Structure 1
Amino acid sequence: MGQDVDYSARLYAGYTEGRALGESAIEIWRSAFSRNASSERPLTVLDLGCGTGRFTPVLADLFGGPVVGVEPAQRMLSIAETKNQHPEASYVLGDAENIPLDDNSCDLALLFLMFHHVPNRDAAAQELARVLRPGGRVLLVSSFGDRLEERLWFQFFPRARQIEERMFPSFDEVTGLFADSGFNYIGLDRVECEVASSFRAYADKISHRAIPTFEYLEEDEIETGFSLLHDAASKDAGQVPVRESADVLVFELRAIS
């Protein structure tokens, strides 16, 4: 589950708006990427599963080197090429199991909320070991089926949590396959940031259906859920930001002895 979602079919249309992050959230992620990467600069970076490229220019500015965004969905890639240009950023069609980069060509790889979509995760980890230089790091941002965070929108779509528990790999699965592919586990960084300025703004973002979990819900469930969500949001007069957290797993490629 989660591996056969086609972002070029529908999800691409509302992805930019549905997954938009404010400046404060971007700054929090910048800090997380920086503290979990090598201190050397510049770094050549792979933004694997870059989507519409929302982090690709950020990575170029942060690490001072070239960044290659690799994305399997052509429509997502087209948005990245149009809306997220940067002198040091380039975008390439490709997937995690066949990364279109040379051996030992990168210092850092970001995998932001994409690993659950990869059909062959073992192959993806091996590909990352191929394209990274020894000592290169992987920053894997994800949820995990056995330690799933509670999301506000789950209250309105009762089956969503159950779907995501099956959709996301377990923590042990991910750490185990990276260990088998030649990586040391460095640690886990829990990052929390504002995803919407208020409950109403949050409901508006969710309405773009940019979360792949919706692809596994029935349309009547979705219609009922959005009716309840917007009704609750309309009654909320507050301006309390909605915050969510995600885990960053950090791996480092072992040097060949």
Structure 2
Amino acid sequence: MRPIDYDTEQHEHYARGRVLTQQQLQVWISAFAAVLPDRRPLTGMDIGSGTGRFTPALASAFGPVVGVEPSDRMREVAQAHSPHPGVRYLPGSAEDIPVPSGSADYALLGWSWHHVRDKPRAVPELARVLRTGGRLLLRTNFSDHHPRPWWLEYFPRGYEADASIFQPLHEVIETFTSAGWRVADFRTVTEPSAGTRGDMLERLRLRTLSFFAQLTPAELEAGFRRLEQAVAVDPDGPAPVFAEPLLTLELR
């Protein structure tokens, strides 16, 4: 996967390109609640918090949250557009989390595990910041459990290029269980539709998905041309939904 520097790429359009409806956001919060302890409040970490897509909602649902994000520009957007009295945004990464040991009851890595460059270093660092029994919510795709979004079929090498970004499920599990974690839960979550097919095309044109950085300019041009032709047939139809995996790990 080509690394993405969010200080020079995507930060201007990320929040708009990856926006979630309130219904979609609530589906994810409910999925997280189902695998977290019932007591409230919980102290949370949002690792790779980006523009704060989930951070305020986590704080409202569960308790105070620290959003950790390496990109200065992404944090600037989060602080300006996703403030919350229960949220702090700090510079850092999964390999270097700027909080004391045993600070949190859970951590979310939402759509960010594939960006972690030194995964063997990140695993013990995540363990350090969680209390014993803490939960890690790993919302990522896996090369062998790929959700296959409907629009990928229109791009050359679409499914292949997107799946290549991610590890297989067994490899991710082994990385954590060999370091003392256990699998607490594995499920899929289906968001409500993101809007119309035309709405989705407009968001995809912002190219705020890692997938787009893996294609050549010619592949991008061909893919968007085919996608635009397909959407033009029914632009007001609802964007198709698909199931996305959520792996929950527990710190022993």
Q: Secondary structure of 2:59's partner?
A: helix
2:109 to 100, 106, 111: 111
Alignment partners' CA distance in 1, 2:92 and 2:17: 24
Q: Secondary structure of 1:158's partner?
A: coil
Structural RMSD (CA)? 1.3
Alignment check: 8 A CA contact 1:111 1:140 kept = yes
Moved more, 238-247 or 77-86: 238-247
Alignment partners' CA distance in 1, 2:26 and 2:49: 18
**Closer, same or farther: CA 237–111 of 1 in aligned 2, 3 Å:** closer
**Closer, same or farther: CA 8–160 of 1 in aligned 2, 3 Å:** farther
Tell me the residue number matched to 2:204: 206
1:44 CA drift (Å): 0.7
- Describe how 1:29-40 pairs up with structure 2 within 5 A: 29-40=28-39
1:37 alignment partner AA: L
Query: Is the aligned partner of 1:75 residue 2:77?
Result: no
Tell me the residue number matched to 1:10: 9
Moved more, 220-229 or 51-60: 220-229
Alignment partners' CA distance in 2, 1:222 and 1:164: 13
Tell me the residue number matched to 2:59: 60
Where in structure 1 do 4 or more consecutive aligned residues deviate above 4 Å? none
**Closer, same or farther: CA 52–74 of 1 in aligned 2, 3 Å:** same
Q: CA offsets per residue over residues 101-152 of structure 1, 9 Å max, x none? A: 1101110100101001111112111111100000110000011012212111
1:237 CA drift (Å): 4.9
1:62 CA drift (Å): 0.5
Count matched residues: 252
1:178 CA drift (Å): 1.0
Tell me the residue number matched to 1:169: 167
Alignment partners' CA distance in 2, 1:108 and 1:76: 22
- Describe how 1:1-257 pairs up with structure 2 within 5 A: 1-2=1-2, 4-64=3-63, 66-254=64-252
Moved more, 223-232 or 235-244: 235-244
User: Unpaired segments of 5 or more residues in structure 1?
Assistant: none
Alignment partners' CA distance in 2, 1:119 and 1:245: 26
User: Unpaired segments of 5 or more residues in structure 2?
Assistant: none
1:195 CA drift (Å): 4.5
1:157 CA drift (Å): 0.8
Alignment partners' CA distance in 2, 1:227 and 1:125: 41
